[in-house]
Amino acid sequence: MARIDELRMIARVARMYYELDKRQSDIAEQLGLSQSTVSRLLSRSKEEGIIRFSINMPQGVYTELEESLVMKYNLRDAVVVDCLDEDENLIQRDLGAVASYYLETIIRPNEVIGISSWSATLLALVDSLQPLHRKMGIKVVQILGGVGNPAVEAHATHLTSRMAQLLNGEAIYLPVPGVLATEAARSILIADDVSQKAIKLFDHVTTALVGIGAIDPSPLLAQSGNIFSARELDLLRQKKAIGDILLHFFDEDGNLVDTGIDNRVISLRLEQLIKVNRAIGVAGGLRKFKGIQGALRGRWINILITDRFTAGRLLAE
C-alpha cells in the first residue's frame, strides 16, 4: 500500500486534473514534476480507488444490448433504437431517423454508398437526413433495380436522388426492374451501358444500406411489382427460406436458398455485400425478426440498426 505522503500527492494531482480541469502539462509545471510523473500518478489514482468512474446512461439508450449483439453475432457495430411499441410503421420511422444520424457520423470522403430500392425504412432515413454542404466526392448508387409500377417508382428514385443531393454527391441509377420474367431478359438488361454504369460500381461500394425482408413482400415492394408469384413464394417456403436482402433469399442459418429465381434478380449479390466495409442492415419489427436473425447468422451484414424489441429477441434466442 502507498505511504500517506504518496497518497497525498496522488490525490492532489487527481483533484487538479479531474475537478479543476487543469492540463497535465500545467500540473507538472505548478508542482515541479515531469509530465510522465503526472500521468503515472493519475493512473495510480484509479488503482488506489481515489478516482472512480461511473457512467449514467440516458433514458432510451441501450448500450449493453448493443454490445451484446456485437459479441453474439460478431458484428462491427449495432444500434438499438428506443421505440414505444411494435407498430411496424412507427418502427420504420424511428429506425430511419436514427440511421440517418448514424450515416451522418460515419460518412467519409470519396464514399460509394449503395442503397437498396423499395424500402420504407430507408425512405424514412433519407427524409431525416441533414444536408452535407462540403464536397466529399461521394457517389450514391442503386444496388437493386429501381424500375417498377409508375405509381410508386418515384420512391426508388427519391431514395437515390435525395440522398445524393443531401450528401452533395453524384447519383447513379440502376434503371431496370429488380425482378425479370426470364433469365434471358435479365442478361439483356444487365448488358446495357446505362445499367453497367451502376453495376460496375457494385464491387467498389464502401457503405451499403439495405433493408431485410420476410418471405411475404412489404407493401411498398408489392406495389412496385418487383415480387415473385404465389407459386414461387411457396417454393421458397418449401426450401425453408425465411427472409431476403436485395431479393436474395436465405434460410434460418443464413444459407442462400437455391430455387433458380435468384437468376432473374438484378441487384448487388450477397457475396458482394459481405465484402463491403460497412454493410448496414436497417430493419426491425416482429414480421421481419426471422429474416433479421438469418441475415445475422449468415453474416451478410456487419452493422445492424434495429428496435429494442427485436434486439431483445435476438439475444434471447
Q: Which three cell numbers stand for residue 285?
A: 419489427
Are 91 and 150 members of one domain?
yes
CATH of the domain at 36: 1.10.10.60
Strand partners, 179: 265
* 127 is a domain residue: yes
- How far apart CA 180 and CA 142 sit, in angstroms, is 17
Are 20 and 129 members of one domain?
no
Are 31 and 150 members of one domain?
no
Q: How many domains, the chain?
A: 2
Residue 34's domain comprises 4-47
What lies within 8 Å, CB to CB, of 125 at 6+ separation is 95, 96, 97, 99, 100, 103, 209, 282
What is the pLDDT tens value at each position of the chain, 317 positions in all?
Answer: 457 778 888 888 988 898 889 999 999 998 888 999 999 999 998 888 888 876 666 777 889 999 999 999 999 999 999 998 899 999 999 999 999 999 999 999 999 999 998 888 999 999 999 998 888 999 999 999 988 777 677 778 889 999 999 999 999 999 999 989 899 999 999 999 989 999 999 999 999 999 999 998 877 777 777 778 889 999 999 999 999 999 999 999 999 999 999 899 999 999 999 999 999 999 999 999 999 999 999 999 999 999 999 999 999 97
Q: What is the pLDDT of residue 228?
A: 83
What lies within 8 Å, CB to CB, of 287 at 6+ separation is 88, 214, 216
Are 43 and 74 members of one domain?
no
Are 127 and 215 members of one domain?
yes
Q: What is the pLDDT of residue 57?
A: 62
Pairing of strands 241-245, 248-251: antiparallel
Are 28 and 116 members of one domain?
no
Region for residue 189 given its phi and psi (left: phi exceeds 0; alpha: psi -120 to 50; beta: otherwise): alpha
CB 81 within 8 A of CB 306: yes
Are 312 and 199 members of one domain?
yes
What lies within 8 Å, CB to CB, of 226 at 6+ separation is 117, 118, 144, 145, 148, 177, 178, 179, 247
* 72 is a domain residue: yes
Are 210 and 152 members of one domain?
yes
Q: Which of 118, 125, 120, 129 is nearest to 89 (CA)?
A: 120
Are 307 and 160 members of one domain?
yes
CATH of the domain at 207: 3.40.50.1360
* 54 is a domain residue: no
